[in-house]
Chains A and B, each alone.
Chain A
Amino acid sequence: MAAFGSFALLLALALATYNLFAGTAALRLLANGRPARISSDRLADTARRAGIASFVAVTAAAVALVWSALTNDFTITYIAEHSNRALPAPYKFAALWSGQEGSLLLWAWLLGGYGFILRLTHKTEVKLHAYAGTILAGVEVFFLAIVNFAAPPFSLLKGAIPNDGNGLNPLLQYPEMVIHPPLLYLGYVGFTIPFAFALGALMMRYPGETWIKVTRRWTLVSWLFLTLGIVVGMHWAYGVLGWGGYWGWDPVENASLMPWLTGTAFLHSVMMQERKGMMKSWNIWLIFATFMLSILGTLLTRGGLVSSVHAFAQSSLGTWFMVFLAIVLAVCVLTYIFKRNHLKSEQRIESLVSRESSFLFNNLVLLTACFVILWGTLFPILSEFVEGSKITVGAPFFDRVAIPIGIFLLFLTGVGPLLPWRAASLQAIRRNFLLPALAVWATVIGGIAAGIRPWQDSTFDIGRFYALVAFALAAGVLTAILSEFLRGAGVIARQTSRNLFAAIYLLIRRNTRRYGGYVVHIGVVVAMIGLAGAAFNRNVESELALHDRMGIGPYILENAGGSQDTNTNYNSESVLLDIYRGGKRVFQVAPERRTYLASDQPQTMAAIHSGPGGDLYVIYEGTDSDTGHPIIKALLNPLVGWIWAGLVFIVFGTLVALTPSLMPVAATVRMPAARTAPAEAALKGGD
C-alpha cells in the first residue's frame, strides 16, 4: 500500500505540473494570438483534464493512507507513530490529519477537490477559469512537492516492524477532532479559489466585477468552513484540554484567526465593489492577504518559528513555506504593479457618515485585529532578534489589546447596516438609531441594577466593565437588526395581507444576501455575549474525601465515591460527584483521568453539565500525595453556551445568504460621484 500511495502522489505531482505548464503555455498563446501547432483551447483543455486527473491520483493516495491506518500497516512510519490496533475506527480514519505528513496530504487532497469542482464548472467563464485553474495548479504543485519530497506520508519504517503502533495523541481522541481539522482546512484551502480567481482576473484584466460574482459562493463557503473549524476547535479545546477555557491565544489558534479576519473584511468590502465599483485594489489585496496569511500561519506553526501547544507544530518545513510565500508575494506584487490601472475606482466615498464609510471602518478594525494578532504572535521572535532573549506574549496581552477592538467591531456591526449609502441625513440617523440607542441604555441600567457592576468592593473590574459594554452594544445591535426585519416585514404584510411570520419568510426569500447577512450578524452578537460572559466565570478547587462537599454558585458537589474501568485503548479512573441544588440531588457527574496504553500518556476528561444557568465544568485533577483524596476543580461558566448558539445562527445565516433570492436583485444604477441630491442621499436602503 505504501508503494501504491507513493506512486499515486508522484503521479498527482506530475499531472499538476503538466496542468501548470500547459495551462501557462495555453494562456500565453491566447494572449499572443499567434497560430501554433496546437490551439490554445486544446492545450488549455488538456491542462484542465490533467488537473482533474491529479485530484483522482491524490484521492487514491489519501485512501491508501486511511486504508493503511484501518489495516494497521505499521510498516509505514506515519501509521506506526499515529495509530495503534486498539484505536477506534473513526480515530484511525482521523489519523489522516493527526500528524504533519497526513495533514499536508489532507491539504493537498482538499485543494485537488476544490480544483476538481472549479475545473468541472469551467464553462461558466472559460478564460477566467483557465487562469484560475492554472494558478491553482501552481499551489497544488507546491503542496504535492512537499508530500512527495519533504514530508512523505508513506515513508517506510526503518528497522524491525513493531507489533503495535504508538497510538494517537490522547488529546486527539475526541469526537470533534474527527471533524475540526477537515473543517479548518476546508476553510484555509478554500480561500485559494477566490485568490486564484482574483489573481487571474487581474492578470487577464477581466472586465467588470463578474469575477466577484463567480467567486462569491466560493468565498462564503470557505469563510463558513473556516468559521466552523475555528468554533468547533474552540469546543474541542473546551471539552478536552480541561482548563475550562476555549481560546488560549496559541500561535496555531492565532494562525486560523488571521485569515478569518481578512476574509471577513473582504466579504464586507467586496460589496462596495459590486455596488459602487469602489475599493478594487483594496479588495484584491484583501484576498491576496487572506491566502498568504493561510500560508504564513502554516509557516509560523509548522516551521518551528514560534512555540505552540499543538503537537504537530514543530518541523523543518519552514524553508519550503517561506520560499513559497516569497514567490506568491512576488507574483502578487508584480501583477499588481503591471495591471493596477485596471483597478481604478469608479466612485469615491462621499461622506464620513455613510454605509461606505462604515465598511471602511469595519475593514480598518478587522485588519487592526489581524495586525495585533500577527504582531503578538511574532513579537517573541522580534524580541529575541533585538534583545537576544525570548519573551512570552500570551493571553494577558491579547486580552488587553483585542477586547477593545472586538467591542469596537460590535459597535460597527450595529451601526453599519443602519447607515444609508452615500451620505446620511440627520433625520435618517435619528430615525434609525433611536431604538438601538434606547436598547443600549436600557441594558446598561438593567445590567447595573442586576448586579453587573464594574466597581465592586472598592475595586474596578475591567472584565465586568467590558462585559457590560458588550451586553449593551449587543442589545443595540440586536434591536437594530430586529427592527430592520420588522420594518421590512411590516411593509410586505401590509402589501400582501400576510401574517408577520409569513411576511418575514418572504422578506428573507426576496433578499437572501441581505437578511442572511443580518442573521450572521445576530450569530456574531450572540457569540460575543458568550465571550463577554467569561467575566462572570467562577472556579473553586478542593480536596474531597468521600462524602465531603464543596460549593460553587447554586451547586453543591459531594464526593459519592469513585470507579475504575479498563478497555483495550485506555485505563480510566473517575470520581462520582452528586450535584445538589437547593438541597435536592439534581444530577451526577463523573470527571475522569485516563491513561492510554499504547502511548502511556495520561489525559483528564472534564465532566461538563450544560444547563440554562450555564455550564458546570468539573475536572478531576489528581489525588493528594499525602491523603490520597481526589482533588476536584469546579468551574461555573454561565454564558459559554451562547458561543455555540451563535455558531448555529452564523451557519444558518450563511446558508440563507448562499441561497438564490426569490426575485432578481434590482439592477444597481451607478450615479456619478459628484451628483448627490440631498433628499436622495438621506434615503435608506440597500444592503
Chain B
Amino acid sequence: MATPLRFTSWTKALQAIALVVAVTLSMGAGNDSARFQDLSHRLMCTCGCAQMLGECNQMGCAESARAKAELTTAITSGKTDRQILDTFAAKYGATVLAAPTTKGFDLVAWIAPIAVFAAALMGTILLVRRWSAGRTQLPAEPANPEIDVLREQIRRETEAGIEGGF
C-alpha cells in the first residue's frame, strides 16, 4: 500500500505549496499610495498612447489626469482592487485592463504558456529517459590503476580547455 500513501503525501504537499503560493500572490499592496502605484500599472491610459496609466507621459494628456483622479477617488472610497478594475473595465471597455482577466476566454491566455511549457518539459524528460533506457549497458569494468591514472590525466587536460568550445 506504499504507492497510495506516497500519492496522498505528494498531493498534500502540492496542495500546501499551492496554498502558500496563492496566499502570497494574493497579498496586495497595503497603503493607498502603493495601491495607486500597483493599480495604475494594471490599467492602460485611454488617450491612445498605448502606455500604462501610471506611465503615460503624453504632454497635456487630459485622459490620464482624469483617470488617475478617478483611481485615487476609488481607492479612498474603500473599493477593493477587483471592484476598481471592474468599474474601469465597465466604463472604458476591456482594453483598459493591461492584462487579461482570469475569467472566460481570457483565462486561456494564462493557461496556455504554462500548459505548453509543462507539456514540452514532460515530453523532453520522457524522450531523454526513453533514449537513455534504450542504450545497451556495458558490464562494469574491473579496477585498473593505470587506466585511472590515464583518466585523471585526461580530466586535467580537458579542464585546461584544450578541446571543445562554444
List A residues at the B interface (Cβ < 8 Å). Answer: 241-245, 248, 250, 271, 275, 307-309, 348-352, 357, 360-361, 364, 367-368, 371-372, 375-376, 379, 383, 386-387, 389-397, 400-401, 405, 457-460, 462, 487-488, 491-492, 495, 507, 510-518, 520, 593, 602-604, 619, 621-622, 657, 661, 663, 665-666, 668, 673-680, 683-687
- The residue that A602 contacts in the complex, of B30, B60, B105, with Cβ under 8 A, is B60
Contacts of A488 in B (CB 8 A): 159-161
Q: List 9 A-B contacts (CB under 8 A).
A: A248-B55, A309-B49, A351-B132, A392-B44, A395-B52, A401-B113, A460-B27, A511-B161, A679-B141
> Given the complex of chains A and B, what is the CA–CA distance between A390 and B105 in angstroms?
12
> Do residues A368 and B163 form an inter-chain contact, with CB atoms below 8 A?
no
- The residue that B94 contacts in the complex, of A275, A390, A491, with Cβ under 8 A, is A390
> Do residues A308 and B136 form an inter-chain contact, with CB atoms below 8 A?
no
> Do residues B166 and A517 form an inter-chain contact, with CB atoms below 8 A?
yes
> Do residues B159 and A241 form an inter-chain contact, with CB atoms below 8 A?
no
Contacts of B100 in A (CB 8 A): 379, 383, 391, 393, 397
Contacts of B164 in A (CB 8 A): 275, 511, 513-514, 665, 668, 685-687
Residue-wise, chain B 94-105 has the 8 Å CB interface mask toward A (1 for contact) of: 111111100011
- The residue that A349 contacts in the complex, of B30, B98, B132, B163, with Cβ under 8 A, is B132
> Do residues A396 and B161 form an inter-chain contact, with CB atoms below 8 A?
no
A110 CB to nearest B CB, Å = 26
Contacts of B96 in A (CB 8 A): 392
Judge whether B51 is part of the interface by a CB distance below 8 angstroms. yes
With contacts A243-B51, A390-B95 taken as known, whether A491 is within 8 angstroms of B160 at the C-beta atoms is: yes
> Given the complex of chains A and B, what is the CA–CA distance between A676 and B133 in angstroms?
13
> Given the complex of chains A and B, what is the CA–CA distance between A582 and B165 in angstroms?
50
Contacts of A248 in B (CB 8 A): 51, 55
> Do residues B105 and A387 form an inter-chain contact, with CB atoms below 8 A?
yes
> Do residues A348 and B163 form an inter-chain contact, with CB atoms below 8 A?
no
Contacts of B27 in A (CB 8 A): 459-460
Judge whether B7 is part of the interface by a CB distance below 8 angstroms. no
> Given the complex of chains A and B, what is the CA–CA distance between A488 and B160 in angstroms?
4
> Do residues A679 and B165 form an inter-chain contact, with CB atoms below 8 A?
no
Judge whether B146 is part of the interface by a CB distance below 8 angstroms. no
> Given the complex of chains A and B, what is the CA–CA distance between A514 and B164 in angstroms?
7
Q: What's the interface size class on B, roughly? A: 35 or more
> Do residues A685 and B138 form an inter-chain contact, with CB atoms below 8 A?
no
> Do residues B165 and A687 form an inter-chain contact, with CB atoms below 8 A?
yes
> Given the complex of chains A and B, what is the CA–CA distance between A462 and B141 in angstroms?
52
Q: Which residues in window 129-166 of B have CB below 8 A to A? A: 129, 131-132, 134-136, 138, 140-141, 147-148, 151, 154-166
> Given the complex of chains A and B, what is the CA–CA distance between A371 and B121 in angstroms?
14
List B residues at the A interface (Cβ < 8 Å). Answer: 24-25, 27-30, 41-42, 44, 49-52, 55-57, 59-60, 93-100, 104-106, 109-110, 112-113, 116-117, 120-121, 124-125, 128-129, 131-132, 134-136, 138, 140-141, 147-148, 151, 154-166
Contacts of B125 in A (CB 8 A): 352
Compute the total of residue contacts between A and B using a CB distance below 8 Å: 205
> Do residues A602 and B59 form an inter-chain contact, with CB atoms below 8 A?
yes
Contacts of B42 in A (CB 8 A): 396
> Do residues B106 and A383 form an inter-chain contact, with CB atoms below 8 A?
yes
> Given the complex of chains A and B, what is the CA–CA distance between A393 and B49 in angstroms?
15
A269 CB to nearest B CB, Å = 12
Contacts of B57 in A (CB 8 A): 241-243, 604, 619, 621
> Do residues A391 and B151 form an inter-chain contact, with CB atoms below 8 A?
no
Contacts of A683 in B (CB 8 A): 151, 154-155, 158
A378 CB to nearest B CB, Å = 10
With contacts A248-B51, A602-B59, A687-B165 taken as known, whether A376 is within 8 angstroms of B109 at the C-beta atoms is: yes
Contacts of B59 in A (CB 8 A): 593, 602-604, 622
> Given the complex of chains A and B, what is the CA–CA distance between A513 and B161 in angstroms?
10
Q: Chain B residue with minimal CB distance to A390? A: B95
- The residue that B131 contacts in the complex, of A348, A491, A661, with Cβ under 8 A, is A348
> Do residues A507 and B44 form an inter-chain contact, with CB atoms below 8 A?
no
> Given the complex of chains A and B, what is the CA–CA distance between A367 and B116 in angstroms?
10
A137 CB to nearest B CB, Å = 32
> Do residues B121 and A309 form an inter-chain contact, with CB atoms below 8 A?
no
Contacts of A593 in B (CB 8 A): 59
> Given the complex of chains A and B, what is the CA–CA distance between A393 and B50 in angstroms?
11
Most buried by B among A308, A510, A518, A668: A510
With contacts A459-B30, A678-B140 taken as known, whether A350 is within 8 angstroms of B129 at the C-beta atoms is: no
- The residue that B161 contacts in the complex, of A458, A507, A674, with Cβ under 8 A, is A507
> Do residues A516 and B30 form an inter-chain contact, with CB atoms below 8 A?
no
With contacts A271-B166, A459-B28, A680-B151 taken as known, whether A394 is within 8 angstroms of B109 at the C-beta atoms is: no
> Given the complex of chains A and B, what is the CA–CA distance between A391 and B59 in angstroms?
26
Most buried by B among A349, A351, A517: A349
Contacts of A350 in B (CB 8 A): 131-132, 135
Contacts of B129 in A (CB 8 A): 352
- The residue that A396 contacts in the complex, of B41, B94, B156, B157, with Cβ under 8 A, is B41
- Shortest 8 CB-CB distances between A and B: which pairs? A685-B158, A517-B166, A513-B165, A686-B164, A514-B165, A396-B99, A394-B98, A397-B99
> Do residues A666 and B163 form an inter-chain contact, with CB atoms below 8 A?
yes
Contacts of B113 in A (CB 8 A): 368, 371-372, 375, 401
> Do residues B138 and A394 form an inter-chain contact, with CB atoms below 8 A?
no
> Given the complex of chains A and B, what is the CA–CA distance between A55 and B130 in angstroms?
51
> Given the complex of chains A and B, what is the CA–CA distance between A364 and B124 in angstroms?
8
- The residue that B97 contacts in the complex, of A376, A392, A685, with Cβ under 8 A, is A392
Q: Chain B residue with minimal CB distance to A673? A: B135
> Given the complex of chains A and B, what is the CA–CA distance between A234 and B33 in angstroms?
28
Contacts of A462 in B (CB 8 A): 24-25
> Do residues A516 and B135 form an inter-chain contact, with CB atoms below 8 A?
no
> Given the complex of chains A and B, what is the CA–CA distance between A142 and B80 in angstroms?
54
B156 CB to nearest A CB, Å = 6
Contacts of B131 in A (CB 8 A): 348-350
